[in-house]
Structure 1
C-alpha cells in the first residue's frame, strides 16, 4: 500500500530516533499530527506557543547531538517558530522545522494566512524547501535532514495543506547515510604552534565548547604548558568540575582572575571557541587558534597560527611534539603564571562565597552595604544561586535565561559531575530557560532539570507552564524575581543613564503556578531560603520557586573601568533626584 507524504515524513523521523515533536496543531499539519498519533515511538508535545516548541526541540538537539523537530502551521504558526529556530541556528545544533502552508492551488494569491515560508526562513535555515509534489519524497526530506545534521543548523520543510495526505507514486524508505568525520590540522601548522608554545614563558588557554569532548587531552595540555584555563560559558559543562587549571570566565560575567590570566600571558591558545567579545581579548599576544571551522579563525582577534581541525586531534598532535621539559631538556616549565592565576581565582571565589552566605547582611560589612543596595532586605541572588548549587544533583541539567540569571549561574553553580548546561548563549534571547527545560525533561523524566528563570523571561512565555503540568514534567523552575529587567538596568546605569522602562509589575508567580496545578513556593525572607530550596527539590512533579531577590545587586565585570564606575555613580544620582521629585 502506498504511503502518504505525512506517513513518509513521520516514518523517517522514527528511523532517525526522534522521540518527540513539539508544536501547535492546526489545518495544514493535521495529516502529520495524525500520522504521529498512530506511531508508537514518537510523541506529539503540544505547546502553548510555537516559540517554546522551537526552543524545546533545540534543547533536545543540543543535549543529544541528534535531530530536534518542531512544527508550526500556516502563517503565524510558522512565524512564531522563528526566535527558537534562530537560537538553534546560532547554537549550531540540528533542528528540522516542518511548516504548514496554504493549499498549492492558492499559493501566490494572498490567501488567508499565506506567508512566503521560503523567504521567511531564508536567513535562519541552512536548507529550506516547499514540497509541491508527493514524488519529491523521500529525496527532499533526506536532503533537509542531511543539511541540518551535516551543517549543524536548521532545515525547514514546508508542507502545503493539500499535500500531506497525498500518496506517493513510487514509494521507498528514506536513507540518510550519516557520518561525522574527524579532521586533523596540517602537520606544518602543528609544528609551528608547538614551537611557539615551547618557547613561551606564559601561556593562557581560552577554552570553548568545541573542547568538551577532548577533556582529558585538554587537561593534559594545560598541565604540560602550566597554563591557566579561561573557560567560556559553554565550556563550563564538561570542563569546570575537578579541573585544577580553570580560572572561570572572562567578559561581563567573568572575574578578575580570568582577565589577569589573559592580560599576563605572552601566548594565547584558543581551543574550540569563537568567544565573540573583542574588547575582552588582550592586545599584543601571540595567538594560536584551533577550530573545525576555517571561517572562525581570526574573526575575533588576529591569529598567528591557525590549526583547522578537531580539537582533540589537534591537542594530541601538540602533546606529541611538546617536550615534558623546556626545549628538549629535563627542566620543568615554570608554573608561576598558573599558580598566580589560580591564587587570584581562589581569592575571588572566597569573596563571592561571602556574598552568597545566608547571614551576609547580618555582619558589619553586610549591614553597611545593605543600607545602600538592599534597603528592603530582599534575598541576594548570589545566595539563591549558591543554595541551588548545593541542593541540585551532580547530573542535573541546568537551563538559564539570558541576563542576570546567567550571571549568577556562571558564578555560583559549578558544572561538576555529569551536569549539563543550556542557554541562549549566542542569540541572547529572553524566555528560553523554561521551554528548553521542557525539551530536556521530556527526554529523561528521571533526571533532574533546573531552570534559572528571570522574571521578565518567564512572563514572556508564561502560558507554557501549562505544558509542564499537562505532561507532568518534574522541572524545578527557580525564578529570580527582582521585578526588573536586570541586565538592561545594569547597562543603563553603567552608561550613566537613570533606570528607565525596566521595572516589572509582577504577579505572585508561585500563586500563578498553583492556579495552573503546579506546586508554587514563594520566598521573601532570607532565613527561609535554604529550606525552601530543599523543599522544592524534594517535591515530586513540577515546582516553581518564586524568590524575591534584590534588584540593586551589581555584578561587577572582570575588568571594571573608571568610565563604568563613574557612569554608575552618575546614574544613581539621577535616580535619586528623580525619586525625590516623584515624591514631591
Structure 2
C-alpha cells in the first residue's frame, strides 16, 4: 500500500526509535502532524516557541546519543529553530529538523513567508535539502539521517506544503543502520606519546566529555602516571565522583587547585576535550592530545604528540607501553589544594554563613540586605536532589554555582549550552530530558534573564504535567554580564531586571510556585519543592553582588572591581558621568 511523504517520514522516525517530535503546528506541517496524530509512533509535543523545541530535541539527543527531532513551519517557524539547532551543532549531537516551505509552484517568487531554508541553515547543518518530488523518498531521508548520525550534527529536511500528502511510489522501508566504528592511532604514534609521558616528571590530565565512555581506562592511566585530573564542565558527569585523581575545573568557573595542577606539570595529556579557552592553558609544556576528530588536534594549544582515535582504545594502547613509575608528590599536592578549596567553598554555602564573624564582615561589604547567597541555594539543591537526577543550567552565574556546588554523584547527568553559550536553554532542555523518563528527577538551574526569555514554555510543562523542578537564581540581574563589566572597571549598566514575583507568575500559569526571601527558610523550601508532585518553580531571591572569584585573579581584575564599585557608588549618589 502506497504511503504519503508525511507517512514515510513519520514511520521512519518510529523505526529510528524517536519518542517525541517537538515543534509548533501550522500550514506546511499539517500533513506531518496529522500523520503523527494517526500513527502509533512518536508523540507530538506542542511547544510555545520553536527555539524551545530545538533545545528540547538537542537535549534528548545528548542524553541518549541518538537522533533528536524538531519541526518548524514555513518562514518564521523555521527561523525560530535556529538558536536551538546551533546549540546542537556546537554540542556535536545529531538532530533532524523538518522545516516547512511554501508550495513548490510558489518557491522562488518571494511569496508570503517564503524563506530560502537551504541558505538559512547552510552554516548550522551538516546536511540540508528540499524535497521537490515524492520520488526522492525514502532515499533523501536516509541521507539526512545517516549524515546527522555519522557526523554528529544537524540535518535539515525541507518539505513544501503541497508535498506532504503526495504518495511515495517506492514503498520500501528506509535503511538507517551505520557500521560501528572504533579507532586507535598506529603503534609508532603511541610509542612516541608514551616516550613523552615516561620522560615527564609531572603529568596533569585535562579530561573532557569525549572520554566519558572510557572512564575505567582513564582512571587506570591517571593512577599509572600519578597524575591529577582536571575536568572540563562537560566531564563532571562522568569523572567527578569516586575519583581520587579529580581536582575540579579550570577556566573562569574553575578553582585554584586545578589551575595550579596545570601550571605545575611539565607535560599535559588532553583526553577527549576541545576545551576552547586558550588563556587557561599553561605555556611551555609538552602536550599529548587524544581526540577522535583530527581537526581538533592542536587548535587550542600546540601539540607535541597528536593521537587521533577514540579515547578508550588509545588509552589502553598507552598503558601497554608506559614503563616509568611516577612520584606521587605532584598528585598529592594537587589533591590537598583541591580539598582545602572545597572546604572553604562549603563554608560559603552554609545558610548561616553571614552569622559567623567572617560572614558578618563579608556581608557588610557585599550583602547588607542579608539576601540568600547563591552558593547556599546550589548546595541545598545538591543535597536534596536524587542521585540519578538530570541537571540543566542556564548560561551565566547559574552554571558557576552548579559547577562549584553540585556533585555529579551516582548516575546524574548534566546538560547546558556549554559550547554555544546561549541564554534560556535550561528550561527547554529540562523539558526534553523529562519526556525521556517522567519518573526521573529533572532539575533546571535557571537564571532570571534566561527563564524570562522563554517563559512561555513553562506552559508546556503544565500542559504535559512534566515534574521538572525549576530552581530560579533570582538576583534581578544579568549576573555574568555584571561580572564582566566590573572586571573591566566599568560600572554596572543595562543588567538590572525589573522582575515580577516569579512564584506568583508560576501559580498563574498553573504550576506550583514557591518564593524564598529568608535564608533561614531556604532548606525547608528546597525540601518542599522536591517533595511536591508535578512541575515546580522555586523562586529564590539571591544576592546580586555575589562574586565568583576566578582561579587566578589578576591585579587588573582587582583594580577593575574597585574602579567599577567606585563608579557605581558615585552614580548612585547622582553622578551620571
Give the alignment's TM-score, normalised by structure 1. 0.98
**Aligned residue among 344, 347, 364 for 2:340:** 347
Deviation per CA, 1:535-554: give whole Å up to 9, x if none. Answer: 10010000000000000000
CA drift of 1:180 comes to 2.8
Deviation per CA, 1:47-94: give whole Å up to 9, x if none. Answer: 000000000000000000010000000000000000000000000000
- Rounded to whole Å, the distance in 1 between the matches of 2:538 and 2:196 is 51
CA RMSD of aligned residues (A): 1.0
**Aligned residue among 510, 520, 524 for 2:517:** 524
Contact 2:11 2:41 in 1 (8 A): no
Structure 2 residue matching 1:554: 3-state secondary structure: coil
Correspondences of 1:84-95 after superposition (within 5 Å): 84-95=84-95
1:160 aligns with 2:153: no
Deviation per CA, 1:214-233: give whole Å up to 9, x if none. Answer: 00110010000000000000
CA drift of 1:106 comes to 0.2
Residue of structure 1 equivalent to 2:399 = 406
CA drift of 1:199 comes to 1.6
Contact 1:19 1:42 in 2 (8 A): yes
* Consecutive aligned runs of 4 or more in structure 1 exceeding 3 Å deviation: none
Contact 2:55 2:429 in 1 (8 A): yes
Residue of structure 2 equivalent to 1:367 = 360
Contact 1:209 1:273 in 2 (8 A): yes
CA drift of 1:582 comes to 6.3
1:338 aligns with 2:323: no
- Rounded to whole Å, the distance in 2 between the matches of 1:168 and 1:415 is 48
- Rounded to whole Å, the distance in 2 between the matches of 1:444 and 1:128 is 31
Residue of structure 2 equivalent to 1:495 = 488
Structure 1 residue matching 2:477: 3-state secondary structure: coil
- Rounded to whole Å, the distance in 1 between the matches of 2:382 and 2:409 is 10
Structure 2 residue matching 1:247: 3-state secondary structure: strand
CA drift of 1:41 comes to 2.8
Contact 2:240 2:409 in 1 (8 A): yes
Count residues in correspondence: 577
- Rounded to whole Å, the distance in 2 between the matches of 1:17 and 1:406 is 32
Residue of structure 2 equivalent to 1:329 = none
Deviation per CA, 1:366-422: give whole Å up to 9, x if none. Answer: 111111100111100000000000000000000000000000000000001100000
- Rounded to whole Å, the distance in 2 between the matches of 1:238 and 1:534 is 27
Q: Which runs of 5+ in 2 are unaligned?
A: none
Contact 2:10 2:41 in 1 (8 A): no
1:63 aligns with 2:68: no
1:247 aligns with 2:247: yes
Structure 2 residue matching 1:318: 3-state secondary structure: helix
Residue of structure 2 equivalent to 1:316 = 316
Contact 1:186 1:308 in 2 (8 A): no
- Rounded to whole Å, the distance in 2 between the matches of 1:288 and 1:121 is 36
CA drift of 1:147 comes to 0.5
- Rounded to whole Å, the distance in 1 between the matches of 2:42 and 2:193 is 48
1:462 aligns with 2:471: no
Residue of structure 2 equivalent to 1:554 = 547
Correspondences of 1:161-560 after superposition (within 5 Å): 161-323=161-323, 326=324, 332-560=325-553
1:138 aligns with 2:138: yes
Deviation per CA, 1:407-448: give whole Å up to 9, x if none. Answer: 000000000110000000000000000000000001000000
Structure 2 residue matching 1:290: 3-state secondary structure: strand
Instruction: Name the stretch that deviates more: 461-470 or 184-193.
Output: 184-193
1:103 aligns with 2:96: no
- Rounded to whole Å, the distance in 2 between the matches of 1:467 and 1:370 is 39
CA drift of 1:39 comes to 1.4
Contact 2:94 2:153 in 1 (8 A): yes
- Rounded to whole Å, the distance in 2 between the matches of 1:460 and 1:112 is 28
Q: Which runs of 5+ in 1 are unaligned?
A: 327-331
CA drift of 1:333 comes to 2.1
- Rounded to whole Å, the distance in 2 between the matches of 1:333 and 1:239 is 22
